[in-house]
């Protein structure tokens, strides 16, 4: 059985790495900045080992409940720092430490020569520690603490090259938009505290996550504390936080901009782990969500809409990372929609496979950038001849994303589609139908943009890379992109290819091996991960026993494969043999193309109309005017009145403090005398 | 007649004043003056930390500790005492004053003009503020309260910049106006038959508290008289307009003291006198405090967005953050159930954390101004590459200001919101929106000043020197320390606030 100290050190090791790099390596040993990379990798390697140990211990049904440490007591509740180790936690721990470790190894090559190498690893360690803290949290405030720390790490890493104005702006945008969602999360916490007395009456702590689960159970012997409309609002408040972090419409606008960060950051934070924190959050509070059909409906529809909406924008992006960013938003939509329909285990299963293949796609984009110096696919092309390993790995990851049998994404996506088709009875049938249709349509779009991205990048003729781009755009080289300035068409170094290859293996095998569909494989039982997660959920609901898992459906596999193949075929037909490689065939769509490439004008609406015009100019401008003229004016008027009321006070205008002090002294004396005589 | 004498508080309060006197009479040469003043600051910091550290926070400890008392004006029937004491509410604020006082002295290292006079005023200021936080006699409290005005007025009007005389005068007039109200309140308390005391310990103990019987002015009137004085100091909307002017034109050290501890006198007064001595009125008017608090939070934050001067920006953000003190106090207005200390504890914590956070922000801005000679945000940009130490300190302060967990600001905001929500749910939700606005103005400010392309004209900027970095490090350590281990402070604050909560629970909903 894994001990408490081991689990804590999963979180503490990367934290120690951050502290060590920030306080020792960077100030004192910055000339040997490679050390910080090795510290981080060492810490994460150990953390990964501990995470696997923890997973094994959870799978063996060890009792892993530990006494939390009191952090702050507030009224009838205490804010503790504790460990909540259940199947969801265990799976997330392995995903986070695993992907983070590979990304840190890759970064040794990708970030080599960057003057802020140590700072990079310090931030990455801070991020990983925060993410692990979030996953382990047993208290909702503790979860919120790490939720925000994850957000600030993301802010620091998006703005890592802070001398690039676009990076600084994107970092700020990411933080503010996610914070809008966090307000909902925080209000949910406030609401729980408002009910602390009711919790305390039946011996529960309003902040302790398992206690919140228990309070939401209608069948609980003690009677449900949470229920009705209040439970719906509570769930929606939490969901608002999830929407911000996971880039769900309408809070999605920050994620594509976040691509300004270094590419390994995008792979780790904005593809595999942090953006999945929203999915994790809903899953964490699933025993609450599932008791409100209204909340579940909202979750499902937001997810379904985001899945198709984001995918459509991915169709027309020219920046390879932006295609992937919209793809991430879309895939997160799949997970959120699945949770909304009650498909707890398939959603998390998809989170796991997505972490592998999407991280690989981003690392592939980084590898391509390493060779061409650009992210703009209009200046790529033909790279498969120069970087065959990257090409194969990106194709594998891409097909896994599309959901081609037998790659990872196929198994997890099919579970979601099948579950959506079957329905779970938690939401109305129409919600199931709408969601299923959106997700299935999303498969076609996903296939199309993925294949388009692969063809534009790797097929056809090379179109000049960064040199051509700069020539055409005639602008200065982006500052800070050290080491990626020129065009060097060759495969990336081993230190970058190795982590990609390992992720590639995961992208191929993870779907089937983590969840064998027919019988035991390599000692892994049938439906292992979904069964494992579903059992965890059952325990969270306060029920024991074994939970149902979805059986494989050939019908659904055929339907989804046909959808995927039609998208692939369409993209190949349009792009592979196109005559003018510099033209964009989709431009023929006219206004639809314009609408999509302008991201449905949502950024314009947010930034220009809502923020700059209405908020900054109208609201803030008006208040500012009122402050300067009316409030200040009134006060000045009173001041004027007092200053002119008599000669004694009139002295103040001379600015002589001596006079003032004398006045006060005499005033006090006069009062004392008056009192004595009275 | 000596009624009880420990001496530690007297030493803590008067050491800077004695130091100022010695400085004035004996020390010569700018280097010696600086060194001596900082030495006094360090010793006073140690003394204040002793007060905080040796304050007995156990449950059965006396509420007021380190009592220094002797009869002061014995024969005239005035019954005014020299009475210094701390409870859990004042002890952390004493430590805060020691900390910021020393940082302010260090931040004055490069002052060139009338050096001796400058440090004399700064030291006197520290004595005055220490006195306010430790006086448990209304008359003494008032004297310290007034004493603080003179040094601050001088610091702004002589060593300030811009329209410094105008700003100093506004500061003075506003505060005097507030003091006038307060003085009327103090006199009214005293002349009431059967009360006849200035003793704040007695006045805030349930058995000897003021009741409506026989009062010259009704209790509610007294409540508002004191409130007016403290609200101007805090400051709350709509009497906040002196603050941006005073801050903008004050020298760095004065800004640090002004935002760091002088504003806290307002919040301290509200907790000590309004909540502590007029619990029934606090309960009755909690809704008004909530309204003023929420307006201050949002109004201050929105206007902060429009500021283009770094100091003005932080000044307006202070108005927003001090609004949270009112919001926290308004938690008293619960409609049913038992009041918990949460909201009040949050308000007190907000005093401390805002003191450190805004103090650090002003220290950083002072360094930026000293090196770039501008505070106009559009002229700045790309400073992070030139002065990384200042940038990191500013970022940490900014993140604490927007309530990032792990830093001190989060704890106080969380406690304030938790407490206030139990009393006024929807207004609290409005106040919570302030955290989005805070993220907006802080990060936007960071983007425009520290991030972005390097400017050629800042090519020769140097980062903070060792002397300049020392106060930054001290503050960062405090901010992170409180953020990670908040109960170090909350336990002390709550030991002071719990007796008030007990009294409040007796009067609420009667």
pLDDT in tens, A147-202: 999 999 999 999 999 988 899 999 999 999 999 999 999 999 999 998 888 888 88
The verdict on B288 touching A (C-beta cutoff 8 Å) is no
Number of Cβ atoms within 10 Å of the Cβ of B32: 14
What phi, psi does B193 have (nearest 5°)?
Answer: -60, 150
The verdict on A175 touching B (C-beta cutoff 8 Å) is yes
Instruction: Sheet containing B65-71: give its strands across.
Output: B2-4, B65-71, B81-86
Q: Do residue B238 and residue A642 have CB atoms under 8 angstroms apart?
A: no
pLDDT of residue B67: 87
Q: How far is the CA of B274 from the CAs of B119, B225, B269, B457, in angstroms? A: 34, 10, 7, 52
Confidence band of A102 (pLDDT split at 50, 70, 90): very high
pLDDT in tens, B354-388: 999 999 999 999 999 988 888 888 888 888 888 98
The verdict on B299 touching A (C-beta cutoff 8 Å) is yes
Contacting B residues, span 194-233, partner chain A, CB-CB under 8 Å? none
Is the pLDDT reported for residue A227 higher than 90?
no
Secondary structure (DSSP) of A507-552: HHHHHHHHS-SSS-BTTBPTTHHHHHHHHHHHHHTT--SPPP-PPP
Is the pLDDT reported for residue A216 higher than 50?
yes
Across the interface, of B154, B170, B432, the residue whose CB is closest to A183 is B432
pLDDT of residue A642: 61
Across the interface, of B146, B302, B419, the residue whose CB is closest to A619 is B302
Section A388-408 average pLDDT: 91
Which residues of chain B neighbour A145 with C-beta distances below 8 Å? 405-406, 410
Dist. CA B389–CA A341, nearest whole Å:
50
Number of Cβ atoms within 10 Å of the Cβ of A335: 29
Dist. CA B434–CA A312, nearest whole Å:
35
Q: A158 to chain B nearest CA, in Å?
A: 12
Number of Cβ atoms within 10 Å of the Cβ of B151: 24
DSSP A69: E
Q: Do residue B451 and residue A162 have CB atoms under 8 angstroms apart?
A: yes
Radius of gyration of chain A (CA): 28
N-terminal to C-terminal alpha carbon distance within chain A: 82
pLDDT in tens, B280-317: 889 989 999 999 999 999 999 999 998 999 999 999 99
Across the interface, of B183, B399, B422, the residue whose CB is closest to A194 is B422
Taking Cα atoms as reference points, which of A15, A21, A20 lies closest to residue A120? Answer: A21
Q: A520 to chain B nearest CA, in Å?
A: 45
Instruction: Find the residue in B nearest to A675 (Cα).
Output: B191
Section A401-406 average pLDDT: 89
Q: Do residue A168 and residue B440 have CB atoms under 8 angstroms apart?
A: no
* Buried b / exposed e along A632-649 (16+ C-beta atoms within 10 A): beebeeebeebbeeeeeb
Instruction: Find residue A83's DSSP bridge partners.
Output: A137
Instruction: Find the residue in A nearest to B484 (Cα).
Output: A71
Is the pLDDT reported for residue B42 higher than 90?
yes
Is the pLDDT reported for residue A287 higher than 70?
yes
Is the pLDDT reported for residue B446 higher than 70?
yes
pLDDT in tens, B118-169: 999 999 999 999 999 999 988 889 999 999 999 999 999 999 888 888 888 8
Secondary structure (DSSP) of A588-623: GGTHHHHHHHTGGGHHIIIIIIIIIIIIIIIIIHHH
Dist. CA A570–CA A568, nearest whole Å:
5
Average pLDDT, chain A: 86
Q: Do residue A163 and residue B454 have CB atoms under 8 angstroms apart?
A: yes
Tokens of A473: 């755009």
DSSP A22: I
Q: Do residue A72 and residue B490 have CB atoms under 8 angstroms apart?
A: yes
pLDDT of residue A643: 61
Q: Where are the domains of chain B?
A: 285-510
Assess contact for A251 and A579: CB atoms under 8 A: no
pLDDT in tens, A575-609: 888 877 777 887 788 888 888 888 888 888 888 88
For testing contact with chain A, the best of B181, B195, B402, B443 (most A CBs within 10 A) = B443
Dist. CA B204–CA B274, nearest whole Å:
10
Q: Do residue B487 and residue A71 have CB atoms under 8 angstroms apart?
A: yes
Number of Cβ atoms within 10 Å of the Cβ of A83: 21
Confidence band of A639 (pLDDT split at 50, 70, 90): low
pLDDT of residue B286: 92
Contacting B residues, span 383-412, partner chain A, CB-CB under 8 Å? 384-385, 399, 404-406, 410-411
Contacting A residues, span 473-512, partner chain B, CB-CB under 8 Å? 479
Instruction: Find the residue in B nearest to A479 (Cα).
Output: B453
Q: A655 to chain B nearest CA, in Å?
A: 7
Across the interface, of B299, B384, B436, the residue whose CB is closest to A180 is B436
pLDDT of residue A648: 47
Section A208-215 average pLDDT: 90
Taking Cα atoms as reference points, which of B272, B263, B232, B177 lies closest to residue A664? Answer: B177
Which residues of chain A neighbour B78 with C-beta distances below 8 Å? 672, 675-676
Q: Do residue B487 and residue A639 have CB atoms under 8 angstroms apart?
A: no
Instruction: Find the residue in A nearest to B186 (Cα).
Output: A671
pLDDT of residue B194: 63
Positive or negative torsion for Cα A423, A429, A433, A438: negative
Q: A141 to chain B nearest CA, in Å?
A: 9
Classified as helix, coil or strand, B189 is helix
Is the pLDDT reported for residue A480 higher than 50?
no
pLDDT in tens, B71-120: 766 655 566 778 899 999 999 999 999 999 999 999 988 888 888 889 99
Across the interface, of A149, A187, A193, the residue whose CB is closest to B429 is A187
Classified as helix, coil or strand, B65 is strand
Q: Do residue A661 and residue B150 have CB atoms under 8 angstroms apart?
A: yes
Dist. CA A444–CA A567, nearest whole Å:
5
Positive or negative torsion for Cα B2, B8, B9, B12: positive
pLDDT in tens, B249-285: 999 999 999 999 999 999 999 999 999 989 888 998 9
**B356: CB partners within 8 A, 6+ apart:** B96, B99, B100, B260, B400, B408, B475, B478, B479, B482
Q: Do residue B172 and residue A635 have CB atoms under 8 angstroms apart?
A: no
Q: How many CA atoms lie within 13 A of A423 on its CB side?
A: 12
Confidence band of A614 (pLDDT split at 50, 70, 90): confident
A649 or B13: whose pLDDT is higher?
B13
N-terminal to C-terminal alpha carbon distance within chain B: 42
Q: How many CB pairs under 8 A join A and B?
A: 172
Confidence band of B1 (pLDDT split at 50, 70, 90): very low
Taking Cα atoms as reference points, which of A251, A125, A119 lies closest to residue A183? Answer: A251
What phi, psi does A526 have (nearest 5°)?
Answer: -55, 140
Tokens of A669: 């004396």
Taking Cα atoms as reference points, which of A132, A139, A104 lies closest to residue A7? Answer: A132
pLDDT of residue A481: 47
Alpha helices in B108-237 (DSSP H): 115-134, 138-147, 149-159, 164-191, 200-203, 219-233
Dist. CA A379–CA A465, nearest whole Å:
5
Number of Cβ atoms within 10 Å of the Cβ of A429: 9
SS3 track for A193-218: HHCHHHHHHCCCCCCEHHHHHHHHCC
Contacting B residues, span 121-160, partner chain A, CB-CB under 8 Å? 143, 146, 149-150, 153-154, 157
Across the interface, of B305, B425, B439, the residue whose CB is closest to A616 is B305
Is the pLDDT reported for residue B321 higher than 90?
yes
Query: What is chain B's length?
Result: 510
Across the interface, of B306, B342, B454, the residue whose CB is closest to A620 is B306
Q: How far is the CA of B222 from the CAs of B185, B217, B278, in angstroms? A: 5, 6, 9
Dist. CA B430–CA A119, nearest whole Å:
37
Going by their DSSP bridges, the two strands B65-71 and B2-4 should be labelled as: antiparallel
B381 or A503: whose pLDDT is higher?
A503
Dist. CA B168–CA B162, nearest whole Å:
11
A51 or B208: whose pLDDT is higher?
A51
Dist. CA B200–CA B233, nearest whole Å:
20
Share of chain A above pLDDT 90, in %: 48
ipTM for the predicted complex comes to 0.93
* Three-point CA angle B339, A234, A229, nearest 5°: 100
Which residues of chain A neighbour B305 with C-beta distances below 8 Å? 615-616, 620
Section B473-502 average pLDDT: 92
Going by their DSSP bridges, the two strands B2-4 and A77-81 should be labelled as: unpaired
Instruction: Find residue A137's DSSP bridge partners.
Output: A83
Is the pLDDT reported for residue B207 higher than 80?
no
The verdict on A145 touching B (C-beta cutoff 8 Å) is yes
Taking Cα atoms as reference points, which of A484, A483, A480 lies closest to residue A162? Answer: A480
């Amino acid at each position: 059985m894994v001990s408490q100290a081991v689990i804590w050190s999963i979180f503490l090791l990367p934290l120690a790495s951050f502290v060590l790099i920030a306080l020792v390596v960077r100030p004192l040993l910055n000339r040997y900045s490679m050390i910080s990379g090795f510290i981080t990798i060492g810490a994460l390697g150990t953390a990964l080992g501990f995470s696997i140990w923890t997973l094994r211990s959870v799978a063996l049904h060890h009792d892993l409940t530990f006494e939390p440490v009191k952090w702050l007591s507030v009224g009838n509740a205490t804010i503790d720092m504790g460990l909540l180790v259940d199947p969801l936690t265990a799976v997330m721990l392995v995903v986070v430490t695993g992907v983070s470790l590979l990304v840190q190894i890759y970064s040794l090559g990708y970030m080599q020569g960057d003057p802020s190498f140590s700072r990079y690893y310090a931030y990455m360690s801070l991020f990983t520690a925060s993410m692990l803290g979030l996953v382990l949290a047993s208290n909702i405030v503790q979860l919120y603490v790490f939720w925000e720390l994850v957000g600030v790490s993301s802010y620091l890493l998006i703005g890592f090259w802070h001398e690039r104005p676009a990076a600084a702006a994107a970092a700020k945008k990411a933080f503010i938009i996610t914070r809008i969602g966090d307000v909902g999360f925080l209000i949910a916490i406030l609401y729980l505290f408002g009910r602390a007395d009711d919790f305390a009456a039946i011996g529960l702590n309003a902040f302790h996550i398992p206690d919140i689960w228990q309070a939401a159970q209608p069948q609980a012997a003690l009677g449900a504390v949470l229920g009705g409309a209040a439970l719906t609002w509570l769930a929606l408040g939490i969901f608002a936080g999830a929407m911000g972090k996971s880039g769900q419409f309408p809070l999605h606008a920050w994620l594509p901009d976040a691509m300004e960060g270094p590419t390994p950051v995008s792979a780790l934070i904005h593809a595999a782990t942090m953006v999945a924190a929203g999915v994790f959050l809903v899953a964490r509070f699933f025993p609450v969500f599932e008791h409100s059909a209204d909340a579940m409906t909202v979750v499902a529809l937001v997810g379904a809409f985001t899945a198709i909406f984001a995918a459509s924008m991915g169709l027309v992006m020219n920046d390879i990372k932006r295609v992937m960013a919209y793809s991430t938003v879309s895939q997160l939509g799949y997970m959120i929609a699945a949770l909304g329909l009650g498909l707890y285990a398939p959603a998390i299963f998809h989170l796991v496979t997505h972490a592998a293949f999407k991280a690989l796609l981003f690392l592939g984009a980084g590898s391509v950038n390493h060779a061409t110096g650009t992210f703009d696919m209009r200046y790529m092309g033909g790279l498969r001849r120069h970087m065959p390993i990257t090409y194969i790995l990106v194709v594998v990851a891409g097909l896994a994303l599309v959901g081609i049998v037998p790659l990872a994404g196929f198994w997890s996506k099919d579970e979601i589609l099948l579950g959506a088709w079957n329905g779970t009875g938690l939401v109305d049938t129409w919600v199931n139908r709408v969601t299923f249709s959106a997700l299935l349509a999303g498969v076609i779009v996903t296939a199309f943009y993925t294949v388009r991205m692969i063809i534009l990048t790797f097929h056809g003729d090379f179109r000049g890379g960064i040199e051509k781009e700069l020539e055409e755009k005639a602008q200065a080289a982006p500052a800070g992109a050290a080491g990626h300035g020129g065009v060097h068409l060759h495969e990336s170094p081993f230190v970058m290819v190795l982590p990609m290859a390992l992720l590639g293996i995961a992208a191929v095998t993870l779907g089937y091996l983590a969840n064998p569909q027919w019988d035991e494989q390599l000692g892994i039982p049938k439906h292992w991960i979904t069964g494992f997660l579903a059992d965890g959920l059952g325990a969270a609901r306060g029920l024991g026993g074994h939970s149902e898992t979805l059986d494989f459906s050939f019908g659904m596999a055929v339907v989804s494969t046909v959808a995927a193949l039609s998208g692939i075929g369409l993209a190949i037909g349009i792009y592979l043999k196109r005559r003018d490689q510099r033209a964009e065939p989709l431009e023929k769509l006219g206004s639809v193309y314009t609408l999509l490439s302008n991201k449905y004008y949502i950024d314009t609406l947010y930034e220009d109309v809502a923020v700059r015009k209405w908020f900054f100019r109208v609201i803030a401008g008006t208040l500012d005017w009122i402050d300067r003229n009316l409030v200040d004016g009134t006060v000045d008027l009173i001041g004027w009145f007092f200053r002119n009321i008599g000669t004694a006070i009139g002295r103040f205008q001379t600015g002589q403090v001596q006079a003032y002090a004398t006045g006060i002294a005499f005033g006090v004396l006069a009062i004392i005398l008056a009192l004595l005589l009275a | 007649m000596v009624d009880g004498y420990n001496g530690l508080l007297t030493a803590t309060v008067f050491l800077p004043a004695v130091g100022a006197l010695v400085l004035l009479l004996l020390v010569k040469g700018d280097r010696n003056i600086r060194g001596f003043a900082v030495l006094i600051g360090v010793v006073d910091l140690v003394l204040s930390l002793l007060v905080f550290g040796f304050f007995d926070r156990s449950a059965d400890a006396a509420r007021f500790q380190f009592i220094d008392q002797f009869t002061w004006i014995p024969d005239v029937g005035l019954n005014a005492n020299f009475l210094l004491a701390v409870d859990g509410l004042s002890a952390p604020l004493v430590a805060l004053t020691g900390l910021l006082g020393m940082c302010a002295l260090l931040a004055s290292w490069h002052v060139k003009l009338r050096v001796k006079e400058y440090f004399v005023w700064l030291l006197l200021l520290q004595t005055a503020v220490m006195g306010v936080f430790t006086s448990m006699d209304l008359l003494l409290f008032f004297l310290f309260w007034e004493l603080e005005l003179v040094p601050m007025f001088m610091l702004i009007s002589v060593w300030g910049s811009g329209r410094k005389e105008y700003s100093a005068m506004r500061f003075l007039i506003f505060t005097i106006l507030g003091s006038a109200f307060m003085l009327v309140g103090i006199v009214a308390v005293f002349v009431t038959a059967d009360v006849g005391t200035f003793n704040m310990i007695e006045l805030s103990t349930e058995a000897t508290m003021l009741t409506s019987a026989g009062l010259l002015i009704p209790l509610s009137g007294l409540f508002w008289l004191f409130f007016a004085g403290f609200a101007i100091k805090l400051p709350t909307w709509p009497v906040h307009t002196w603050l941006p002017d005073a801050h903008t034109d004050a020298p760095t050290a004065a800004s640090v003291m002004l935002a760091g501890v002088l504003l806290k006198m307002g919040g301290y007064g509200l907790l000590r006198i309004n909540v502590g001595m007029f619990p029934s009125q606090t309960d009755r008017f909690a809704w008004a405090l909530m309204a003023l608090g929420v307006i201050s939070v949002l109004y201050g934050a929105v206007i902060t967005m429009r500021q283009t001067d770094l100091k003005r920006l932080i000044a307006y953000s202070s108005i927003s953050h001090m609004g949270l003190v009112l919001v926290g106090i308004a938690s008293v207005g619960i409609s049913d159930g038992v009041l918990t200390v949460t909201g009040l504890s949050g308000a007190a914590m907000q005093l401390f954390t805002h003191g450190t956070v805004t103090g650090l922000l002003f220290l950083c801005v002072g360094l930026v101004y000293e090196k770039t000679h501008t505070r106009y945000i559009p002229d700045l940009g790309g400073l992070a590459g030139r002065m990384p130490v200042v940038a990191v300190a500013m970022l940490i302060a900014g993140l604490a200001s927007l309530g990032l967990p792990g830093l001190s600001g989060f704890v106080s905001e969380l406690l304030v919101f938790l407490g206030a929500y139990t009393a006024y749910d929807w207004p609290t939700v409005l106040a919570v929106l302030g955290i989005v606005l805070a993220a907006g103005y802080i990060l936007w400010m960071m983007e425009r000043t520290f991030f972005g392309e390097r400017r050629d004209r800042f090519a020769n900027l140097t980062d903070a020197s060792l002397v300049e970095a020392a106060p930054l490090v001290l503050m960062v350590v405090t901010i992170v320390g409180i953020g990670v281990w908040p109960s170090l402070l909350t336990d002390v604050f709550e030991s002071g606030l719990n007796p008030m909560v007990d009294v409040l629970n007796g009067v609420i909903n009667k």
